[in-house]
Structure 1
Amino acid sequence: MDVAVTPPAIRCAGVEHTYPTFQERSARIAAGLRALGVEPGERIAIVMRNEPAHLEIAAGAARLGASAVPVNWHFRHDELRHVLGDSDSKVVFAHTDLVPGVAAALPERARLIEVPVPDGTAAACGFPPPPVTGDHPLLDSWLYGHPPLAEEAARRPSTVIYSSGTTGRPKGVLRDPVGAEQLADAVAKFHEFFAVEPGGRTLIPAPLYHASPSQHAVLALAGGLDITLMPRFDAEEFLRLVEHHRIQQAQVVPTMFVRLLRLPKDVRERYDLSSLTSVVHAAAPCPPHIKHAMIDWLGPILREYYGGSETGAVTWCDSQEWLAHPGTVGRAEGTCSVVVLGPDGVALPTGRTGEVYIKPSDTWPQFTYLGDPAKRAAMEADRLPGYVTIGDIGHLDTDGYLYLSDRRNDLVISGGVNIYPAEIEGCLLALDGLRDAAVFGIPDEEFGEALAAHVEPEPGAALTTEDVRAHVADRLASYKVPRTVVFEERLPRDESGKLFKRRLREPYWAGRDRTI
């Protein structure tokens, strides 16, 4: 089959739906939700891995004027109960193997729709397809019991993404619905900044419960792109899909770069990646040596942006800009703007490090947090209306390019000196035999905080604590050398590469006053 002339479709692990099929199914889902009493402005939840049905359910909710809440399917017990209850989800869709946990956390009067796990999705995730429970309506029989909903909401609600909860329970980001003109503007910017033509072929390897892949999927659908989803990221499978489907554009996170680069050279060279014209990354700092290596491999097709679930992308840079400004996350585009403020709320001069405040595009929808307007207000700059912070520390150069040092909550203050763990983590990732690293502050009686590094070695690597400390000491100032080094079999990351540093840090601070 010639992929180049095949009509665009949405596929994942052996399941493929054409756009007409996708639209019919989402319209039936919209009708089914209305029959269950879901009203415009309300919410439904999706506790599922990546697959076409995930996107169809979200599109069906939007057609009705309701918001979908993609839930991290790793959540258990209280985590699920919090998100489902806090979002006041009226209907919850869950993969079969996740149904028991979801049913136990289901809010009163909420309805549960069971979604069988496709064979390919189960295989990719490493388990046999589970038999359906038979306790709840099954997605296909339920949706085909309703005629497609002909009408569509005039304003499209956004998905409600729950923050990762690094400083407490996660909060849902609720953005204003957008009209047709706003959506068209967003799609045009998507085509421009992601360097993909209408009808082009894109690959989404990260979980749809994260903001970036979720928004990517929404805009790709609105732009009529051919969409390939991965149930979970696997480095060689990523290369195989690029070759097989002649993928032109993909959005990834830096951890995926690390895993791709660690494939043996002969494996990387086995696949034809010449169709790729744009690889976009965001969501976490990318160590400069990793980005250099990716550009050397794929060519100058890497593009990067910075922003948040709340603000959308605010800064952008392509490979040429990054090579001219190594380490940058880009420069504000269009009507977006960036300023770096000191503790007194006054803008800092070029090169000075402080808290980063960003102003979203004039066409980006306003946002708040479900049930917590005070948190939204606390993000705003007192003297700069329209500017908010998402908790990052950084500086601007003379050309207006932004450089991030770390997250505000990850900043370590040791003996009055500010230390940014991201710099040390990037240094450690260049150590042969080290697969992953997490650096953070732990209690210290003399200095207030000291540095700890939890590291994940490559299988078979004979690294020692002194190897780790010496590697940092040879490259960074002495006060940046971790005092404590702990070897872990595996650091706590999800499929998108998100590191749950809080899980590592909490035991050190139990019973103490630091905000985790």
Structure 2
Amino acid sequence: MALASHRMVAIAGDGLALADDRISLSWTELDAMLNRVVNGLLAHPLGPERRVAVFAANSSEAVVAYLACLHAGVSAVPVNPNLKADELAYVLRESAAEILFVGPETVDLGGEVACAVGGVELIGWRCDAKAGATAWEAWLAAQSDAPAPDDMPPRRYLQFTSGTTGFPKAIDAVDTTLPQADTVAGFFAMLREWTAERPEGTHLCLGPLYFNASLTSVRILGAGHPLVVMTKFDAERALELIERYRIVTTLMVPTHFKRLLSLPDSVRARFDVGSLKVVTHTGAACPPEVKRAMIDWFGPVLVEAYGGTESGTTNLIYSDEWLAHPGSVGKTIAPFELEIYSEEGERLGPNVPGQIFFRDTRGRGIVYRGDPEKTRAAHREPGVFTLGDVGYYDEEGFLYITDRVSDMIVSGGVNIYPAEIEHLLVAHPDIVDAVVIGVPNADLGEEAKALVIPRDPVTPPQAEALLAWLRGQLAAYKCPRTIDFVNDVGRNPAGKVNKRQLRAPYWPSDRTIG
């Protein structure tokens, strides 16, 4: 896949390069479109931050926008298309973005906020120039189709944390598997080297592109591997795409697994998933019963990646390793080294739970842009940081995550970690999903409450029967005191839950929710 100096993509020809639910582009067509978008970005008088935001649902156009930013040496800002006006304004101001790409579902809000923030040009696909947006097609037609330069320095994405524990913070995205390059040409050469051992074939993007892990699909395309991007996840449609395009690799989160497994056996049996070679999963903890069922169905092709937007991947585990170490997220990978500490600051050995830290052997650690206090709080010392999780490692060095520090419930001075309870509840045949939170208790300070989505909302299981079932498997102090049946727990596409928001209705308004 040698990259000719005059081409934006790694290969030429009429073979499939990029497809979504509406259109497909050959490598030749993608090359021509990228030339125009890159030249359009280079022609814009961007300031020193060189930032362009993408506020749109998944589409081929969104993929092209992200890939063009990499080619143009521009820092893309992925924006969740579900944000409200104040949240979008915050991201635009914090990022100093000067162009906002929008789709038909975000053009009205994007136009309103861009106008209010000022200094932001709006460009939209399939928008009919609404809300003051320049139409994507017209903007493309006005740009040069000449080969674009590739000697400028590359720039990384500027991403914002999900905000599940507070207001989102900006992070200059770091992918530990991709070394830095001096030029765009060098960066794409590294991308091709990065994917050299990847199975040949098409990648399927199922998650939203504003999700850090999903953005890997853009780099996979940039390295010369075809990409199919799904506009919105639908379990049966995902199986159809896997069979139709003979998908070789994809990335999922546990929510995808649960929805796939919930399909009737007759539907699952209709589709051939034998083309899959690697199914990476990340984003949230995966209940062991769910992961085992997926391995039984898809085969030993699952690879779990643990880490954070701040750090990139810190741990990996393959299916055969996981079957031997069920529940683990794997061994820590270079350039990180695992360290676990007690609340008193004592370094802990195998099989003793504590707060998880990683030593970055490069000395970098993690950085929350514009928030030195949060950056300091995440570090024990320079280069030794935490992602906020609690867990332990076994004698072989396999890491197990037991919970998040911020989710911990302190009841009568005893620490309760919700994840253990949640995994049991999700495994119950009458439950679709469950979240455990801390709510007020006059005597103990806090007590555990389970928010449960029943499989049958009309006739849910009896709360007392569920509690009795839990008491048969957990120490009494760990068991929730009460259960509320709910329709939704607010999981985002990465499978994460905003527990701060879920706790808020139960606490007095003058209490700061952690």
- Scaled by the length of structure 1, the TM-score of the pair is 0.89
Match of 1:141 in 2: 138
Alignment check: 8 A CA contact 1:316 1:331 kept: yes
Counterparts in 2 of 1:302-451, with a 5 A limit? Answer: 302-360=302-360, 362=362, 368-382=367-381, 385-451=382-448
Change (3 A) 1:230 1:361: farther
Deviations 1:96-154 (A, max 9, x none): 2312212222221111112227xxxxxxxxxxxxx652632111210221114611254
Match of 1:463 in 2: 461
Counterpart secondary structure, 2:68: helix
1:221 counterpart = 2:229:
no
Give, in angstroms, the shift of residue 491 of structure 1.
Answer: 2.3
Counterpart secondary structure, 2:509: coil
Q: Distance in 1 between matches of 2:14 and 2:474?
A: 52
Alignment check: 8 A CA contact 1:44 1:67 kept: yes
Alignment check: 8 A CA contact 1:28 1:147 kept: yes
Q: Distance in 2 between matches of 1:360 and 1:204?
A: 30
Given candidates 101, 120, 138, the residue that maps to 1:110 is: 120
Q: Distance in 1 between matches of 2:459 and 2:15?
A: 48
Match of 2:162 in 1: 164
Counterpart secondary structure, 1:97: coil
Given candidates 99, 102, 111, the residue that maps to 2:107 is: 99
Give, in angstroms, the shift of residue 24 of structure 1.
Answer: 2.9
Q: Distance in 1 between matches of 2:481 and 2:293?
A: 30
- The one-letter code of the counterpart of 1:92 is L
Greater displacement, 252-261 / 456-465? 456-465
- The one-letter code of the counterpart of 2:374 is K
- The one-letter code of the counterpart of 1:318 is Y
- The one-letter code of the counterpart of 2:166 is G
Give, in angstroms, the shift of residue 294 of structure 1.
Answer: 1.1
Match of 1:178 in 2: 180
Give, in angstroms, the shift of residue 6 of structure 1.
Answer: 7.4
Give, in angstroms, the shift of residue 26 of structure 1.
Answer: 2.7
Change (3 A) 1:361 1:48: farther
Q: Distance in 1 between matches of 2:75 and 2:387?
A: 23
Change (3 A) 1:509 1:189: farther
Match of 1:63 in 2: 71
- The one-letter code of the counterpart of 1:164 is S
Change (3 A) 1:248 1:110: same
Q: Distance in 1 between matches of 2:194 and 2:392?
A: 26
Q: Distance in 2 between matches of 1:184 and 1:405?
A: 39
Greater displacement, 304-313 / 131-140? 131-140
Stretches of structure 1 lacking an aligned partner (at least 5 in a row):
118-130
Counterpart secondary structure, 2:236: helix
Given candidates 148, 152, 155, the residue that maps to 2:153 is: 155
Give, in angstroms, the shift of residue 254 of structure 1.
Answer: 0.8
Change (3 A) 1:63 1:367: farther
Counterparts in 2 of 1:150-299, with a 5 A limit? Answer: 150-175=148-173, 178-179=180-181, 188=193, 192=197, 196-197=198-199, 199-214=200-215, 216-299=216-299
Change (3 A) 1:471 1:52: same
Match of 2:492 in 1: 494
Counterpart secondary structure, 1:320: helix
Q: Distance in 2 between matches of 1:35 and 1:481?
A: 61
Q: Structure 1 segments of 4 or more deviating over 4 A?
A: 180-192, 364-367
Counterpart secondary structure, 1:213: coil
Alignment check: 8 A CA contact 1:87 1:370 kept: no
Alignment check: 8 A CA contact 2:74 2:155 kept: yes
Alignment check: 8 A CA contact 2:331 2:398 kept: yes
- The one-letter code of the counterpart of 1:472 is L
Counterpart secondary structure, 1:356: strand
Give, in angstroms, the shift of residue 191 of structure 1.
Answer: 5.7
Deviations 1:195-247 (A, max 9, x none): x32x4211110001111111x12331232111111111111111111111111
Counterpart secondary structure, 1:443: strand
Change (3 A) 1:208 1:157: same
- Scaled by the length of structure 2, the TM-score of the pair is 0.89
Give, in angstroms, the shift of residue 432 of structure 1.
Answer: 1.8
Q: Distance in 1 between matches of 2:267 and 2:359?
A: 43
- The one-letter code of the counterpart of 2:436 is V
Change (3 A) 1:181 1:60: closer
Q: Distance in 2 between matches of 1:381 and 1:468?
A: 41
Q: Distance in 2 between matches of 1:183 and 1:473?
A: 55
Deviations 1:54-74 (A, max 9, x none): 121122222222211110101
Q: Distance in 2 between matches of 1:281 and 1:161?
A: 20
Greater displacement, 150-159 / 235-244? 150-159
Greater displacement, 500-509 / 226-235? 500-509
How many pairs are equivalent? 491
CA RMSD of aligned residues (A): 2.4
Q: Distance in 1 between matches of 2:418 and 2:14?
A: 47
- The one-letter code of the counterpart of 1:483 is R
Given candidates 10, 13, 25, the residue that maps to 1:17 is: 25
Alignment check: 8 A CA contact 2:431 2:455 kept: yes
Q: Distance in 1 between matches of 2:365 and 2:196?
A: 22
Q: Distance in 1 between matches of 2:87 and 2:428?
A: 36
Counterpart secondary structure, 1:429: helix
1:34 counterpart = 2:42:
yes
Q: Distance in 1 between matches of 2:287 and 2:196?
A: 27
Counterpart secondary structure, 1:370: coil
Match of 1:121 in 2: none
Give, in angstroms, the shift of residue 182 of structure 1.
Answer: 6.6
Q: Distance in 2 between matches of 1:357 and 1:212?
A: 21
Alignment check: 8 A CA contact 1:91 1:111 kept: yes
Counterpart secondary structure, 2:98: strand
